[in-house]
A = this chain, B = another copy of it.
Amino acid sequence: MHNDRMTIRVAVAGASGYAGGEILRLLLGHPRLRSGDLEIGALTAGGNAGSALGTQHPHLLPLANRILQETTPDTLAGHDVVFLGLPHGQSAVIANALPPTTIVIDCGADFRLQNAQDWAQYYGGEHAGTWPYGLPELPGNRERLADASRIAVPGCYPTVSILALRPAMAAGLIEPHVTIVAVSGTSGAGRSPKVDLLAAEVIGSSRAYGVGGVHRHTPEISQALSEAANLPVSVSFTPVLVPTSRGILATCTAKTTASASDVRAVYEKAYADEPFIHLLPEGQLPATGSVIGSNAVTLQVAVDERAGTLVVVGAVDNLAKGTGGAAVQSMNLALGWDETEGLSTVGVAP
A158 / chain B contacts, CB cutoff of 8 Å: none
User: Cβ of A92 < 8 Å from any Cβ of B?
Assistant: no
Contact flags A307-340 to B (C-beta < 8 A → 1, else 0): 1110101010000000000000000000000000
Give A255 to B59 CA distance when docked, in angstroms: 31
A245 / chain B contacts, CB cutoff of 8 Å: 199-201, 203-204, 349-350
Interface majority SS (helix, strand, loop, mixed), chain A: mixed
A244, B281: Cβ atoms under 8 Å? no
User: Cβ of A304 < 8 Å from any Cβ of B?
Assistant: yes
Within A263-295, the residues touching B (CB, 8 Å) are 278, 280-281, 284-294
A345 / chain B contacts, CB cutoff of 8 Å: 61-62
Give A255 to B185 CA distance when docked, in angstroms: 28
Chain A interface, number of residues (Cβ within 8 angstroms) = 97
Chain B residue at minimal CB-CB distance from A313: B208
Number of copies of this kind of chain in the complex: 4
User: Cβ of A226 < 8 Å from any Cβ of B?
Assistant: no
Interchain nearest-CB distance for A167 vs B (Å): 17
B183, A206: Cβ atoms under 8 Å? yes
B304, A212: Cβ atoms under 8 Å? yes
User: Cβ of A71 < 8 Å from any Cβ of B?
Assistant: no
Write 22 A-B pairs (CB below 8 A) sorted by A numbering: A25-B348, A55-B284, A58-B298, A59-B289, A61-B296, A61-B345, A62-B345, A62-B346, A177-B255, A186-B203, A187-B200, A193-B195, A200-B350, A203-B204, A204-B246, A205-B287, A206-B249, A207-B315, A208-B251, A212-B304, A213-B305, A243-B244
With A54-B281, A208-B285 given, name 17 new contacts (CB 8 A): A52-B281, A58-B284, A59-B289, A59-B347, A60-B346, A61-B294, A181-B238, A185-B203, A193-B198, A197-B198, A197-B199, A201-B289, A208-B251, A213-B304, A213-B307, A245-B350, A293-B293
